[in-house]
């Protein structure tokens, strides 16, 4: 990608920077950077030389070919009589003849040069047309390459549970890593044995993907209930004397039998406590691993002996040891493959082959030549405890391998895990101080710790090329795209948290800002590192694809998870709140008379990218009326949707104008832009004072209440709405057609418009109407603010005993399906993201002195209490945090993705009143 761009620039430098213009008796070479002037022939020769493949100068080649005398340089280029003079001293007629002949040759040669330039220009345009700007990276140094993210910081984060789509997946923060993972045999209802590896709701586990403790870097504990077995998986990382880069780590697997009522009603399993676990290491670079011993079926189980070893560039030599109790057996397999996304299938095929041969589900105790994957199967009866210890730097003499393995296994490990558990709980309390609140007891604090751990345990590292669907603009692009449906973005790394390990185990820009509001409270530098990686993905126009599925991970997802280039970045506020928080933090340091070079360099590095990001919105999402904005990209031709979705807003099916048009005005985007301008002004005042005034004035204009009321306020109802070409008389109906020749009956759901749409307010009161409140655009004593508090508490509209619903119960679109098989999301469900933002605004107003301050306090306390109570009760009833919650049915988790430790983890900040 970058190499192609550089070649394009070279051609441009040759053709675009120097323009050749011809006059019958004079050649002028003009520079785009200077006024046109007659250029000395030596510069002309240099220019033309680049257009020739031969070593000789073009003038010499031409004259030798035509046997013409060489052109002598004029004495004065400024003289009007100075033309091309020849060295021949013959008669004047001969001189005129030769002069005319030379002139013709020069004109001919000029035409040749023009032709070459045109050809090269066409080539450049053709090449450019086949290479969309959307996949051109932003032309500055990577933010993640700043010195503050190198050295000890990078080594501290080198190893981690960075493969969140697996029940347990470990990797390093490097493009080609040594991977580790855990699988086990379970029973799938009606299907016999099943191999657990990828977090999958269809496995039917009573509890899964549940990190109940995780600090994001060093320690984690996960609990899984699979049938009659409780599986506790612990991860611990340590830097010991003699360790290689990144240190050592260990995985402990503890299996305990449990009794369940449903087990008594079902036929008893012949071997109820039999368990079989698979631990593997795989080298993405393809470097071979050594399995010990070399002879099959003689695996050593001594603590001092490794079961596998190898080496990588960064960590040097490494060894894997396992410690198990008596009564267990081990089998192994070595395999060679370049594909890491299908390891489950690889192991399962080996087990099936052995089952046909021997009647048992065991690995074959065999290995391919030069394997890059080592898999070890440990079988026994529950209760059972296994320790898999990974030690690095084993190539050195003072590696002290045996001592390090001893310190990371058995009783020594049990003690260290207990210490880590205590450290986590102490750190959690010192960070969020939940015990200070009278109404928060042990139940609430436990949910807070699980929410925090789930988010930190979902941190991932990806490397590769994301796939992007871009509208085809040229024939060259169409030819390239014939092989597939996507463009591949440039290769990039992404260090991020994920929304849900089972449903969204990849980067999701719409929620990442909310994640970082919480993670920044826990580990500020860890959060900065993640933000840096996301901003590195911004393209030359300031656009970031909102879903990032990189590397082999992309092969697991269908095309619907790619996003078109017309979609702008989503959900500005959480990221801007994070950036504003950073700027305030740096400003406070300056006021205290201290220096903060790290945050200053970070702000300077991200500001150009934020400017491009802001410019994207300000140039592509503007409306027809000055000061208005609307989300572009809605499908005006859709006939299968009740209301065309606005995916780019982050509230995809929230009802907007029924007929998308350029006349739309979207309230939420206007408020986003007002807040973005304020944030940009604050950063500019610290790192780029020249642009401060521009952003400050834009913010003042967009936050002006008079402008807001003119564009979005429906005075009769006292509510804020979108504006656009809209009709309320719309419904979905079943359209049936019959094929005349075959008689085949085809049925599909279509939209029926029963009223001609007109330009008007879009009377759908919901989350969108709350954005002026969220962004604190009302004066505390204003009538608008007082009225918003009244509306907020009405059960006819948004208020419930569980939080604020996304759309008023009185709305014509309330809980209506947008498509035949698409359940409503932002048409009634409760989402913690907007509830958190509303609480943040109410908390702000409650602390301001004024007429409505007490009313804001009252609403704030009631809303906060309702949200906390509902999330806690749902967790203890279901065992999970949910993506959203039902506005009825006792506020239970909505049918959808779970466990969901993404933005729902904001419950921790709500408990701690951190806004």
Whole-angstrom distance, CA of residue 536 vs CA of residue 558: 25
Whole-angstrom distance, CA of residue 887 vs CA of residue 806: 9
Q: Is 40 helix (H, G, I), strand (E, B) or coil?
A: coil
DSSP sequence for 846-891: HTS-STTHHHHHHHHHHHHHHHHHHHHHHHHHHSS--SSB-SSGGG
Q: Which of 455, 457, 552, 546 is nearest to 162 (CA)?
A: 457
Active-site residue flag, 883: yes
DSSP sequence for 399-428: --HHHHHHHTSHHHHHHHHHHHHHHHHHHH
Phi, psi of 800 (to 5 degrees): -135, 175
Q: Is 571 helix (H, G, I), strand (E, B) or coil?
A: coil
Whole-angstrom distance, CA of residue 82 vs CA of residue 24: 14
Q: Which of 209, 161, 169, 231 is nearest to 900 (CA)?
A: 209
- What is the DSSP-derived secondary structure letter of residue 38? P
Whole-angstrom distance, CA of residue 562 vs CA of residue 324: 45
62-84 exposure pattern, b = at least 16 Cβ within 10 A, e = fewer = bbeeeebeebeebeeeeeeeeeb
- Identify the active-site residue in 596, 652, 688, 728: 652
Q: Dihedral of CA 631/637/641/642: which sign?
A: positive
Phi, psi of 343 (to 5 degrees): -65, -35
Whole-angstrom distance, CA of residue 35 vs CA of residue 169: 63
CA dist 521 to 528, 578, 908, Å? 11, 10, 10
Whole-angstrom distance, CA of residue 420 vs CA of residue 237: 11
Active-site residue flag, 652: yes
> At a CB cut-off of 8 Å and minimum separation 6, what does 92 contact?
none
686-689 long-range contacts (CB < 8 A, ≥24 apart) are: 686/583, 686/586, 686/587, 686/600, 686/603, 687/600, 687/603, 687/604, 687/607, 688/607
Whole-angstrom distance, CA of residue 506 vs CA of residue 122: 40
Question: CA angle at residue 440 from 898 to 574, to 5 degrees?
Answer: 55
**Residue whose structure tokens are 């309230």:** 667
Point out which residues pair with 713 in neighbouring strands: 720
DSSP sequence for 123-184: HHHHHHHTS-GGG-B-SS--GGGSGGGSHHHHHHTSEE---TTBSSEEEESSSS-EEEEEEE
Look at the chain and count its residues.
Answer: 915
- Identify the active-site residue in 365, 387, 523, 883: 883
CA 397 to chain CA centroid, nearest Å: 43
What is the DSSP pairing of strand 308-312 with strand 316-324? antiparallel
Active-site residue set: 652, 883
């Amino acid at each position: 990608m970058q190499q192609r761009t550089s070649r394009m620039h070279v051609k441009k430098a040759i053709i675009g920077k120097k323009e050749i213009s011809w006059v019958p008796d004079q050649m002028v070479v003009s520079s785009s950077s200077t006024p046109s002037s007659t250029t000395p022939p030596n510069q002309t020769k240099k220019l033309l030389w680049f257009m020739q493949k031969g070593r000789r100068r073009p003038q010499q080649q031409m004259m030798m070919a035509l046997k013409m005398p060489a052109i002598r340089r004029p004495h004065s280029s400024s003289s009007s009589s100075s033309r091309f003079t020849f060295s021949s001293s013959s008669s004047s007629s001969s001189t005129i003849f030769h002069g005319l002949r030379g002139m013709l040759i020069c004109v001919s040669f000029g035409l040749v040069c023009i032709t070459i330039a045109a050809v090269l220009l066409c080539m450049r345009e053709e090449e450019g047309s086949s290479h969309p700007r959307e996949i051109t990276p932003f032309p500055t140094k990577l933010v993640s390459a700043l010195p503050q993210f190198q050295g000890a910081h990078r080594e501290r984060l080198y190893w981690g549970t960075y493969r969140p789509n697996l029940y347990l997946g470990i990797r390093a923060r490097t493009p080609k890593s040594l991977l580790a993972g855990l699988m086990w045999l379970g029973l799938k209802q009606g299907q016999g044995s099943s191999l657990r590896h990828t977090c999958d709701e269809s496995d039917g586990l009573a509890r899964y993907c549940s990190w109940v403790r995780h600090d994001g870097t060093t320690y984690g504990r996960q609990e899984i209930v699979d049938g009659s077995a409780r599986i506790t998986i612990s991860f611990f990382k340590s830097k010991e004397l003699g360790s290689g880069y990144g240190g050592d780590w260990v995985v402990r697997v503890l299996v305990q039998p449990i009794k369940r009522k449903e087990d008594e009603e079902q036929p008893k399993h012949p071997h109820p406590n039999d368990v079989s676990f698979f631990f593997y290491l795989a080298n993405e670079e393809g470097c071979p691993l050594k399995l010990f011993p070399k002879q099959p079926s003689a695996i050593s189980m001594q603590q001092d002996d490794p079961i596998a070893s190898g080496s990588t560039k960064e960590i040097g030599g490494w060894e894997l040891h396992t410690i198990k109790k008596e009564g267990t057996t081990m089998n192994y397999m070595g395999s060679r493959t370049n594909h890491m996304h299908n390891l489950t299938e690889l192991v399962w095929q080996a087990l099936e082959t052995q089952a046909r041969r021997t009647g048992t589900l065991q690995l074959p105790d065999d290995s391919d030549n030069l394997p890059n994957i080592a898999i070890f199967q440990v079988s026994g009866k529950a209760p059972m405890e296994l320790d898999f210890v990974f030690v690095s730097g084993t190539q050195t003499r003072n590696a002290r391998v045996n001592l390090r393995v001893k310190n990371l296994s058995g009783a020594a490990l049990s003690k260290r895990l207990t210490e880590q558990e205590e450290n986590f709980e102490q750190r959690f309390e010192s960070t969020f101080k939940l015990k200070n609140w009278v109404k928060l007891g042990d139940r609430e604090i436990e949910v807070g710790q699980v929410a925090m751990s789930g988010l930190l345990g979902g941190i991932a590292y990806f490397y590769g090329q994301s796939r992007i669907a871009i509208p085809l603009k040229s024939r060259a692009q169409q030819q390239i795209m014939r092989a597939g449906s996507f463009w591949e973005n440039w290769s990039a790394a992404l260090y991020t948290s994920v929304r849900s390990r089972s449903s969204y185990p990849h980067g999701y820009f719409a929620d990442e800002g909310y994640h970082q509001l919480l993670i920044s409270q826990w580990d500020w530098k860890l959060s900065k590192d993640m933000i840096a990686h996301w901003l590195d993905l911004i393209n030359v126009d300031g656009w970031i694809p909102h879903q990032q599925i990189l590397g082999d991970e992309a092969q697991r997802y269908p095309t619907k998870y790619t996003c078109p280039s017309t979609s702008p970045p989503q959900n500005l506020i959480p990221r801007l709140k994070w950036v504003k928080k950073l700027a305030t933090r740096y400003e406070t340091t300056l006021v205290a008379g201290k220096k903060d070079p790290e945050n200053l360099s970070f702000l300077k590095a991200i500001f150009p990218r934020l400017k491009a990001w802001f410019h994207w919105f300000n140039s592509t999402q503007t409306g027809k009326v000055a000061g208005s904005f609307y989300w572009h990209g809605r499908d005006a031709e859709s006939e299968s949707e009740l209301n065309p979705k606005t995916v780019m807003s982050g509230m995809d099916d929230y009802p907007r104008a029924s007929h998308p048009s350029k006349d739309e005005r979207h309230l939420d985007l206007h408020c986003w832009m007002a807040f973005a301008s304020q944030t940009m002004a604050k950063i500019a005042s610290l790192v780029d004072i020249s642009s401060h005034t521009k952003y400050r004035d834009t913010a003042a204009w967009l936050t002006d209440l008079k402008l807001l009321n003119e564009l979005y306020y429906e005075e009769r109802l006292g509510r804020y709405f979108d504006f656009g070409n809209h009709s309320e008389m719309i419904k979905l109906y079943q359209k049936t057609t019959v094929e005349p020749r075959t008689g085949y009956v085809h049925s599909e759901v279509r939209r029926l418009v029963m009223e001609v749409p007109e330009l008007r307010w879009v009377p759908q009161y919901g989350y969108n109407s709350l954005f002026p409140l969220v962004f604190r655009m009302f004066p505390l004593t204003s009538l608008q603010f007082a009225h918003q508090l009244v509306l907020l508490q009405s059960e006819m509209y948004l208020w419930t005993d569980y939080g604020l619903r996304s759309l008023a119960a009185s709305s014509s679109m309330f809980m209506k399906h947008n498509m035949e098989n698409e359940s409503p999301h932002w048409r009634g469900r409760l989402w913690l993201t907007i509830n958190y933002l509303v609480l943040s605004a109410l908390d702000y107003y409650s602390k301001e002195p004024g007429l409505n301050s007490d009313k804001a306090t009252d609403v704030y306390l009631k809303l906060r209490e309702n949200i906390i109570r509902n999330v806690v009760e749902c967790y203890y009833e279901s065992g999970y945090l949910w993506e959203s919650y039902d506005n009825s049915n006792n506020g239970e988790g909505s049918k959808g993705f779970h466990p969901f430790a993404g933005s729902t983890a904001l419950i921790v900040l709500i408990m701690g009143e951190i806004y």
